[in-house]
Every structure is written in structure tokens, then in C-alpha cells.
Amino acid sequence: VVVPQGALINLVHDMGERFAVTGDDRLLSVTTFGFDISNLEILVPLLTGAELVLAERDTVRDPAALAALITGSDATVMQATPTLWHALVTEHPDSLTGLRVPIGGEAVSEPLADALRAAAREVTNVYGPTETTIWSTAAVLDGERGGVPPIGRPIANTQVYVLDDALRPAPTGAVGELYIAGEGLARGYHGRPSLTATRFVPDPFGPPGSRMYRTGDVVRWGADGQLEYIGRADH
């Protein structure tokens, strides 16, 4: 996936502001460099002046060791997948006190969201495919909304559409496929023009020549104006 520099800059600025990261923060990076979300963990501290703490791979695999690192480093922000957060909040919930928690990369269950919210300072569910530069929507999980945690609203300079098979907007509560447009859009797939043309399609709601990405994810708008993830269109 070919991601332009501007798309990454847009994401990093949004995330830095969204999580109110400053030079007083310590961001603990636990993601392998082969996973796209690691870019966020490296670049947000560079933008904001926060201290970056890099966790060793063996530490990340050991919940007790990772919990000790969180506490010992006085980390204030840590991004991870639901799988990793589940291990930490189940075995070492006290280590999460004071942490601002971006969680994404997999669907977040209601029990996990409840447990994290009880243990951490703030929990934000983030969603997005690599083709739209890591995260495209976000939702603070504050407990006011029951049921499966939403994936939220679009980040800065991002447009999201819930469309039916004829590319017509689906009404609130009706399911449709999620399309994403805006500054985070990748250029396409390197050396694969046919696949690029299939997934990156003309945006009928944007300026002439603009495109949107067809995610293949089925979603719906909730009554509160937040997106709810339902599943994959091809399943």
C-alpha cells in the first residue's frame, strides 16, 4: 500500500491532539515495526515532544513484565490490540491506572471495554484499514452507550459513508458498506493497478476526481451519530 506523507501527517496531528499528548507524557510502544500502527507510536512523540519508551518483544509477550514496565516507566499513553489489552486488564488491572488507552486492530467486545474503562484513565476505540492510513475513526468509550462499542466518528479531514449496493447513503440504523475518503487515503497498491481500481473508486460525494476506499466492512450509523461495526461484507 502506497501511503503519501501528507496522509501520515494528518493522522499524527489528529492523534496527538486527540489524546492531548504533550512533552510531559511518556508513550510506551509495544507494537512490532512490521505492523502499520507502530508508525503512530514513533511519530506522535516526535511531533509532541513526549518521551518514547520502547518495549522489548519478550516483555510484550509477558503480561507481568509488561505491567511492570508500564508502572516503572510512568507511561501515560499506550496503544495496543484488544488481545494484548485483554491479557493486561485480566491479570494486572492496577498497572493501567492513569493510562490513556487507544485500542484497535481487532473488534472490541463489550466486556473488554468495560474492564478497561474501570482500570484506565481513558479508553478510545480506533478503527481503520491500512489503505486509509492506520486509523480513520475513533470513539471514546465512556460507558454512556450500552452494547457493542462503536467505532465512532471520522478523524480530522476524513469523510466516511455508509452506502448500499447502489452507492446510496444508508439511513440511520440500516446496514451498509463503509467507504472512506479524505486526506488519509492511500495512493493505491504498488504495482497492482487493477486491484487499486477495484478498491479505490470515484467518490460521488466529493470534488471531481476524488476517490474513496471500499473497505468491505459492514457498518451502520447509530442514533448517536457514531458508526457501529457489524462484520465483513464477504463473510
Amino acid symbol at 200: F
**Looking at residue 16, what is its pLDDT?**
97
Give the 3-state secondary structure percentages of the chain, helix then strand then coil, rounded to 5: 30, 30, 40
Mean pLDDT of 37-59: 97
State the alpha helices, DSSP H only, in 160-232. Answer: 193-199
Q: State the angle between helix axes of 110-119 and 82-91 in degrees (0 to 180), rounded to the nearest 10.
A: 50
Give residue-wise pLDDT tens across range 188-204.
999 999 999 999 999 99
Mean pLDDT of 159-188: 98
Distance from C-alpha of 200 to C-alpha of 42, rounded to nearest angstrom: 28
pLDDT class for 235, splitting at 50, 70, 90? low
Domains of the chain: 5-154 (3.40.50.980), 158-232 (2.30.38.10)
148: its cell numbers: 457493542
Radius of gyration of the chain from its Cα atoms, rounded to whole angstroms? 18
Give residue-wise pLDDT tens across range 109-133.
999 999 999 999 999 999 999 999 9
**Looking at residue 147, what is its pLDDT?**
87
